[in-house]
A and B are shown apart, each in its own frame.
Chain A
Amino acid sequence: MNDEFRYLLARAARGKLDRRAFLGRAAALGVTSTAATGLLSKAVLAQGPRQGGNLVMGLQGGESTNSLDPALAASQVPFIYLKVSGEPMVNILPDGSLQGRIAEEWSASPDATTWSFKIRSGVEFHNGQTVTAEDVAQTLRRHSNEESQSGALGIMRGISDISVDGDTLVLTTDGPNADLPYLLADYHLMIQPNGGMDDATSGIFAGAYKWVENEPGVRHVLEKFENYWDDGAGHFNSIEMLVINDATARNSALQSGQVQLINRVEPRVAGLLSRAPGVSVESTAGRGHYVFIMHCNTAPFDNNDLRMALKLGINRQDMVDRILRGYGSVGNDMPINASYPLFDDTIPQREYDPDQARFHYERSGHSGPIDLRVSDVAFPGAVDAAQLFKESASAAGIDINIIREPGDGYWSETWNVQPFCASYWGGRPVQDQMYSTAYLSTADWNDTRFFNDHFDELLLEARGELDQTRRKAIYSEMGMMVRDEGGLICPMFNDFIDAHNDQITGWVTNPNLELMDGLAPVLMWSAE
């Protein structure tokens, strides 16, 4: 790094030189833009956040039916406002490790069945009450109650007992679970006074921002909570979220400066938008994946040769190029990629191979068209992706018949009901959670009807295994099983594409979920 570059970097970090000009001049000095961007964000972070200013966001994924009850949150806007106003037990850092929030520290019994969490002292709710271990316990009880409608019910299942010992919360699990603390990072599990048992929709949490106005589907206004415990987060004085479900309207609002941060930039306009003055498009490789799923127990998909033929008959790179416009990476017919901890990168990549596909197809003995059900609600571009699939498979002599389903009711009538359809998965923080959610024989959402006793045994073994090398080997074996025997055709992992303008700074790449795992409004700061 020469002196001139260092000088430019310092100026850019202080906001005296805009990002675009900095990248241009860095390129002139022979520094690639990727390297320069990396160094710049480091330098900006080193400069430290500034307090003050107001953030206005334009967000996709809000409806007038949204509720402040964390249990009912299911779309993007509730996810973001819960992340901004709520405080969870732990957060998952970009590198996959855990950061204690309301939980200050934690430890497991040697057999990994009993976990103790020490509750941080001096954390306050927005109504002035102090957060106690009892509040935490009540919150977890509400979400694990079979009668609750919580989206987190599935992940709370394995917890058999919740108890309080002074300022310590003790969780007992049915079987050993080395990943238990990760489960508590779920965005539904925001701690509420008395667990929200009195009033789940009060909007009283312990997060960096407290509620001012709540107009579901229109706008949400929050202001800084003055007694927030962590000085390292919550730099803006206020946050306003405008629900802008239309993609073009979102882009225009960012370009005209009405909002400073948007989510869900469409891949086809991301390139254009990044050339607009003062706008940075942030693309993050995550764990979300777009899939076609077959029921392994339903004819004709109960034949592994047929499943293999379809897996070999899809052109993954073509889909990444055309459906994701390059904002993503190829999948490998398992739900895991390099964004997960303990990923085995030696597993060979499956390629498009019409000859092999034809071989397996003929061996399966199947003939006639295969119905594939799609809708664009399955994932953006699903119908186009199905067309590409049909085309690439026909080179192997496989006839795919595309049936377009109505978007309305797709998740209740088609997904997890029909034997072959398009879908997506948002990914989970750890492999255990992903596999337990959708690949364990007894999982509610076993949407590929993958029933494999050996796989289930391995999953339970890995869950209780504290030796990371051994665990990685087990996960590798499980990945291979899903890849070679499962009903999942995973052509691509999509990137999260968000964008902000140069009035705010402090972006950090976070593979967990969009907008820096929903924490962008809390962790970024005003550049002016």
Chain B
Amino acid sequence: MHPVLTLVIQRLALGLLLLLAASVLIFVGTQILPGDVAQAILGQGATEQALQNLRAELGLDQPAFTRYFEWLFNAVQGDLGTALSNGRDIASSISGRLQNTLFLASVAACISVPLAIFLGLLAVRYRDRWPDKLISAITLTSISLPEFLLGYVIMYFFSVKWGLFPSVSNINSGMTFFEKLNAVALPAMVLTLVVLAHMMRMTRAAILNVMQSAYIETAELKGLRRFTIIARHAMPNAIAPIVNVVMINLAYLVVGVVVIEVVFVYPGMGQYLVDHVAKRDVPVVQACGLIFATIYIGLNLLADIISILSNPRLRHPK
């Protein structure tokens, strides 16, 4: 078998194992939270009788071990069960939320990834001159501010003051693509600002590292334009670290944006997960956790594979 194929299969198997471990961790985590589902669902107003009835109805009197394996076997078959708290089918509730999350993440990624790499290249081209310093200053400032603050500032100007975009990014299935784009303009803007710096700085550092190499000097002596050297000769050799950082940020855009979702009232996965954690709704938390873990592991797997493929030394091992 081709060594690359073996490597990829190995990685995939490792990913699956990780996923299983993650599901166990999530389950254990939900078990040691204070309070129980019945109390959390019925709130302050719960009487002891109502609590007992609800616990029995939800099957919470079964041992945790049994519940976990039952759930896992069903999940593998695509049945995520029903939410304990409101009796809705989890798979159908999640799919809408997941689509929204992926939509926002893709919009933000489509803007931020090319922009970050381009700015990184630009920063290298004008290294230590004012464009480099300006780019670094702006991106580092935006990453240093807490994202909710960025959100509020942008909301104040673009929505309350100038009325350009809606401050409530509520999207629903009845909206056209452009209406949705308009609705997510502000959160996408904030997310772009949040993830830009990390990717930009990594691009800059990785390329600068390569720029020390002898072959770059050759290219310079050959008389190539500086930007061509950076983009055509230095960039391909710097792809591995850049891809890794891009993937981490893409994963963040999918799994880590709950604050932005709250600020802009965006119906994504994050808010959905937090609501159900608060209600000790184990099946939903498990399902969300599994999806998040899949996305995280999948993207990192992809990053690994791209790094391997982009590196001739790994592609053709001796």
Residues of A near any B CB (own CB < 8 A): 58, 63-67, 72, 74-75, 146-151, 153-154, 201, 213, 215-219, 242-246, 248-249, 252-253, 255-256, 258-259, 406, 408-409, 411-413, 415, 444-445
Contact = CB atoms under 8 A, between A and B. Distances in A.
Contacts of B156: 252
18 contacts: A58-B168, A64-B86, A64-B272, A64-B275, A65-B278, A66-B86, A147-B53, A201-B86, A215-B267, A248-B155, A249-B264, A252-B155, A252-B159, A259-B168, A409-B35, A409-B39, A409-B40, A444-B47
Contact of A72 (B35, B41, B272): B41
B43 interface: yes
Contacts of A153: 47, 49-50
B39 A411 contact: yes
B166 interface: yes
A150 B39 contact: no
Contact of B170 (A219, A248, A408): A219
Nearest to B50: A149
A411 B83 CA distance: 22
A242 B263 contact: no
Q: Of A201, A218, A408, A409, which is in contact with the most chain B CB atoms at under 10 Å from its CB?
A: A218
A149 B53 contact: yes
Contacts of B85: 65, 67
B134 interface: no
Contacts, number: 134
Contacts of A58: 168, 265
A258 B168 CA distance: 7
Given A150-B50, A248-B152, 15 more contacts: A63-B275, A74-B45, A75-B43, A149-B42, A216-B88, A217-B275, A218-B267, A246-B262, A252-B156, A252-B160, A256-B159, A258-B167, A406-B34, A408-B34, A412-B35
Contact of A242 (B45, B48, B265, B272): B265
Nearest to B267: A218
Given A64-B275, A65-B281, A243 B42 contact: no
B160 A217 contact: no
A403 B226 CA distance: 62
Top 3 A-B pairs, shortest CB-CB distance? A409-B35, A409-B34, A65-B85
A51 to B, nearest CB: 25
A213 B155 CA distance: 27
A494 to B, nearest CB: 16
Contacts of B132: none
B163 interface: yes
Q: Of A63, A64, A249, which is in contact with the most chain B CB atoms at under 10 Å from its CB?
A: A64
Given A65-B85, A149-B54, A412-B40, A249 B265 contact: yes
A377 B160 CA distance: 30
A75 B40 CA distance: 12
B44 interface: yes
B138 interface: no
Contacts of A252: 152, 155-156, 159-160, 167
Contacts of A409: 33-35, 39-40
B184 to A, nearest CB: 14
B172 A219 contact: yes
Q: Of B39, B96, B152, B168, which is in contact with the most chain A CB atoms at under 10 Å from its CB?
A: B168
B45 A151 contact: yes
A101 to B, nearest CB: 23
A65 B262 contact: no
Contacts of A66: 86
Contact of A246 (B43, B159, B265): B265
Contacts of B167: 249, 252-253, 256, 258
Contacts of A72: 41-42, 86
A75 B86 CA distance: 14
A242 B40 contact: no
Contacts of B275: 63-65, 217
Contact of B41 (A65, A249, A415, A445): A65
A35 B124 CA distance: 68
B317 interface: no
B201 interface: no
B271 interface: yes
Contacts of B48: 444
Given A58-B168, A63-B279, A258-B167, A413 B34 contact: yes
Contacts of A258: 166-168
B47 A253 contact: no
Interface string B250-274: 0000000000001111010001100
Contacts of A217: 267, 271-272, 275
B144 interface: no
A244 B86 contact: no
Interface in B14-61: 33-36, 39-45, 47-50, 53-54, 57
Contacts of B57: 149
B209 interface: no
Contacts of B45: 74, 151, 154, 445
A408 B265 contact: no
A67 B170 contact: no
Nearest to B51: A149
Given A153-B47, A412-B34, A249 B262 contact: yes
Contact of B271 (A64, A219, A415, A444): A64
Given A58-B168, A74-B42, A408 B278 contact: yes
A232 B87 CA distance: 36
A122 B265 CA distance: 41
A146 B50 CA distance: 7
A74 B39 CA distance: 12
Contact of A67 (B50, B86, B263, B264): B86
Interface in B264-310: 264-265, 267, 271-272, 275-276, 278-279, 281
Contacts of A151: 42-43, 45
Contact of A256 (B47, B53, B166): B166
